Structure 1
Amino acid sequence: MTIPLSVLDLSPISAGSDARQALRNTVDLARQVERWGYRRFWIAEHHFVNVASAAPTTLIGLLAAATESIRIGTAAVQLGHHTSASVVEAFGTVDALHPGRLDLGLGRSGHRGAQLRSAGVPPVPSQDRPVQVRDGVVLPPPFNPGQLLDTSRLAASLEALYLPGAQPLPYAEQVRQIRDLLEGTYTGSDGVHLRALPGEGADVQLWLFGSSGGESAQLAGESGLPFAANYHVSPGTIVETVQAYRDAFRPSERFPRPYLVVSADVVVAEDDATARHLASSYGHWVYSIRSGAGAAEYLDPDTAPPLSDQQRRLVEDRVSTQFVGSPGAVAQRLRSLQQLTGADELVITSVTHDHADRLNSHRLLAREWGLSHIRAA
């Protein structure tokens, strides 16, 4: 059985372009993938870098208004940077006008950021595990965050994102608050009942996101929630992440069994050589993130210089696990990923310098995968 495909977009800013155009491209992409039969359109949250998805709780409203039926969501709201009430009220506002279409994805990046802000990047033991290929899926050693070359920009960003002296709630507690506000059962520490209007009773589906078998995967399972595992961010931990979610899962009213989405970074073109060329500046972009400088403008593959050996070593796990090639070749690798993880759905993220190439990548994959609503271009 062919499982659904969805889209995760970062609103990347290409070299020579700007944030305004990146956001227009995101809206256009959402409209097009809706036509081509993708199930969901999710947007990420990033700050002080060259991607334009800094305000997902604003952007979901614009995307919902620009589309008709595709589910719109966040992948994910960084809870440490938001109060529970602000998240629920924002989603409740959009749901009031576009009911039943929103996925509220929650992540703990903001909570991890607070820990890094106070303690620095913790040392991580080196990984001796060699690269594995299991059932056709590349599983590199997990990335060691101690390899980050410069954390000063991260520290400055976190300082700008938090009010002085503010401390985020524990992740599990904030997830509970959000659920209570949506269900109308929230009570403050002094016993006072509060209602979030709009927000209470909104037909919003909660999701948790994670890149390891830690708190997010376990909490999603224990709460009977759907879970999105980030193969495209942390390919070396995907097996442990998925297993932790399944092991912890307790049936809920809406989800009697686990529901798992797995992400993959994809570039598709008419032939393998063209796809490899379009994806050839992806390593530069990942390096800009891991060097500590933050995501740079996405370079034109026609003019991007080759990576040095040192740069390539830092990004090899991400480059080797990007799904690049012709429609048939990429679809085969995606099926291998689905079979290894048992995913109920795959979410595709794709970055290219030219917006037209990104559209074409999603269109070609939709056709190859057999998505039902694809129309002639």
Structure 2
Amino acid sequence: MNVPLSILDLAPISAGSDAATALHNTVDLAQRAEQWGFRRYWIAEHHFVAVASSSPAVLIGQIAAATQTIRVGAAAVQLGHTTAVAVVESFGMLDAFHPGRIDLGVGRSGQRRREAAKQPPSDTPKPPQEWREIDGVVVPPSFDLGALLRNPRLKVRMAVLQQPEAVPPDFGDQVGDILAMLNGTYAPEGVESHAVPGERAPLSPWVFGSSKGQSAQVAGANGLPFVASYHITPATALEAVDAYRAAFQPSDTLREPYVVLSADIVVADDSDTARRLASSYGHWVYSIRAGDGAVPYPDPDSVPPLTAEQLAVVEDRTKTQFVGDPDEVAHRLDALQRVTDADELVVTSVTHRHEDRLRSHELIAKQWGLQ
């Protein structure tokens, strides 16, 4: 039997459309995902770009209210931009309205970006890396995000996501605070403090990570489920899973590691159509890496081919996107699950037209055998 399949959504804004339409499209997809048998519907957090998922908790509430059974959660709340108590209280409120259906996903991307922005560029060249394939799973060389993360425009935007002069605590400490608030033992500087709502809510954090660094270590040490982002960092996702399993300690939440892998897919009734629909994906990724952040998702019928220089910037992402007919994409998802021994997979599928995005998810749900 195939492992469960879930959805990760950004509420993407297509070229010529707007945020309101993107948000309504997300709720529409979530309702259909419930009918098609997906286990979870997760919302990413992004700011100042052409995706509408800037406030996961607000959007989660809307989706949960419009559905009945599917689990809804964050993928993930960026702890570098908020406080542990705000997270616990908001998700505790969501659980009060939708008991047993809320997933609390957390990530350290906001902190990671700040750390990278403070590091001076290195003059030491990194040794060249080679493309690898492990039993059908492509592992590309790492893409150096250093220049992007030191972009002065990005630094300004990140600064306004916090109060002036605020310094976020260590990610591991924040996760510890969240756990303490949930189980009722939170006492900063010896002062008992109770998150209302939130305390004793049946919530358990899901930790999202991209490498074998702190996120994988924190998830393992605390016995929490771990989500590795193959769809964003295909070069390091597999080693992140290994690091998580090596660090895992049983907890009241989990007796054994629980691993989820993400993948970016585009599925259509035939391979040629799928490739055409995905042909503007590289342009979108290029806007993120070499421009000013994600642009409205381009129409594949109106963009010129990427140049060789542009392709080099996005090749690790375009070659690890799963594009094809249902059988082709399911085959690659099966390889990803088999190589990582993942307990669950989560897919994200972005196309210019909402109808094509719906069809992509519907086709993979049927091919995967969801009920």
Residue 9 of structure 2 is aligned to residue 30 of structure 1: no
Spell out the pairing of 1:80-91 with structure 2 (5 A cutoff).
80-91=80-91
Indicate yes or no: 2:321 matched with 1:326.
no
Aligned to 1:209: 208
Q: Distance in 1 between matches of 2:299 and 2:124?
A: 34
Q: Look up the SS of the partner of 2:204 in the other structure.
A: strand
For residues 146-225 of structure 1, the aligned pairs below 5 Å read 146=146, 148=148, 151-189=151-189, 191-225=190-224
| Aligned residue pairs, count | 371
Q: Secondary structure at the match of 1:209?
A: strand
Displacement after TM superposition at 1:239 (Å): 2.1
Correspondence for 2:110: 110
Question: Aligned equivalents of 1:209 and 1:180: distance in 2?
Answer: 19
Secondary structure of the 1:156 match is: helix
> Who is 1:6 aligned against?
6
Q: Which residue of 1 aligns with 2:62?
A: 62
After TM superposition, give the deviation of residue 238 of structure 1 in Å. 2.0
| TM-score, length-scaled by structure 1 | 0.96
Residue 78 of structure 1 contacts residue 106 of structure 1 at CA under 8 Å; is this kept in 2? yes
Alignment match, 1:243: 242
What is the match of residue 143 of structure 1?
A: 143
Contact 1:221–1:249 under 8 Å retained in 2: yes
> Aligned with 1:365: secondary structure?
helix
Matches within 5 A, 1:264-283: 264-283=263-282
Matches within 5 A, 1:68-83: 68-83=68-83
Q: Which amino acid aligns with 2:5?
A: L
Residue type at the aligned position of 2:227: A
Structure 1 segments, 4+ long, off by >6 Å, are: 121-124
How far did 1:59 drift? Answer: 1.1
Structure 2 unaligned spans of 5+: none
| 1:256 partnered with 2:269 | no
Counterpart of 2:293 in structure 1 is 294
Q: Which moved more, 1:296-305 or 1:250-259?
A: 250-259
1:125 and 1:252 mapped to 2: Cα distance?
Answer: 42
Deviation of 1:123 after TM superposition, in Å, equals 7.1
Return the letter of the residue paired with 2:135: D
Q: Confirm or deny: 8 A CA contact 1:211 1:241 kept in the other structure.
A: yes
Contact kept, 8 Å, 1:103 with 1:206, in 2: the verdict is yes
Comparing 150-159 with 253-262, which one deviates more in the overlay?
A: 150-159
Which amino acid in the other structure matches residue 164 of structure 2?
P
- Decide which moves more: 274-283 or 236-245: 236-245
TM-score (normalizing by structure 2): 0.97
Give the SS at the match of 1:204: coil
**Closer/same/farther in 2, CA of residues 65 and 124 from structure 1, 3 Å limit:** farther
Taking the aligned partners of 1:167 and 1:150, their CA distance within structure 2 comes to 18
**1:136 is matched by which residue type in structure 2?**
G
* Residue 375 (structure 1) aligns with: none
* Matched letter for residue 188 of structure 1: P
CA 361–209 in structure 1, closer or farther in 2 if over 3 Å, else same:
same
CA change 1:222–1:361 in 2 (3 A) is same
Taking the aligned partners of 2:120 and 2:25, their CA distance within structure 1 comes to 36
User: What secondary structure, in the 3-state scheme, does the structure 1 residue paired with 2:6 have?
Assistant: strand
Structure 1: how far apart are the matches of 2:233 and 2:333?
Answer: 16
Local SS of the residue matching 1:265: strand
Kindly state the Cα deviation for residue 354 of structure 1 after the two structures are TM-superposed: 0.3
Query: Using the alignment, how far apart are the partners of 1:114 and 1:64 within structure 2?
Result: 32
CA distance in 2, matches of 1:123, 1:34: 51
Q: Is the contact between residue 82 and residue 162 of structure 2 (CA under 8 Å) also seen in structure 1?
A: no
Q: CA 1:97–1:279 in 2, change beyond 3 Å: closer, same or farther?
A: same
Identify the residue that residue 313 of structure 1 maps to in structure 2.
312
1:297-351 deviation line (CA, Å, top 9, x unaligned): 1000011111111111000000000000000000001100101111000000010
Q: For residues 135-180 of structure 1, give each alpha carbon's deviation from its aligned partner in whole angstroms, at most 9, with x where no partner exists.
A: 0111100111135397122112112112111100011001111111
Call closer, same or farther: CA 1:97–1:225 in 2, change over 3 Å: same
In structure 2, do the counterparts of structure 1 residues 361 and 127 end up closer, same or farther at CA, with 3 Å as the change threshold?
farther
> Contact (CA 8 Å) 1:114, 1:168: kept in 2 or not?
no
What percentage of aligned pairs have identical amino acids? 57
Which runs of 5 or more structure 1 residues have no equivalent in the other structure? Answer: 373-377
Which residue in 2 is equivalent to 1:284?
Answer: 283
**Relative to structure 1, is the Cα distance of residues 121 and 350 closer, same or farther in structure 2, using a 3 angstrom cutoff?**
farther
CA contact (8 A) 1:106 1:207 kept: yes
1:255 Cα deviation after fit: 1.2
Q: CA deviation at 1:254?
A: 2.8
**2 CA distance for matches of 1:17 and 1:150?**
30
Given that 2:113 and 2:149 are in contact with CA atoms closer than 8 Å, whether structure 1 keeps it comes out as: no
Shift of 1:201: 1.1
Q: Residues 215-243 of structure 1: CA distance to partner in whole angstroms, max 9, x if unpaired?
A: 00011111110000000010011221110
Give the 3-state SS of the residue equivalent to 1:279 in structure 2.
Answer: helix
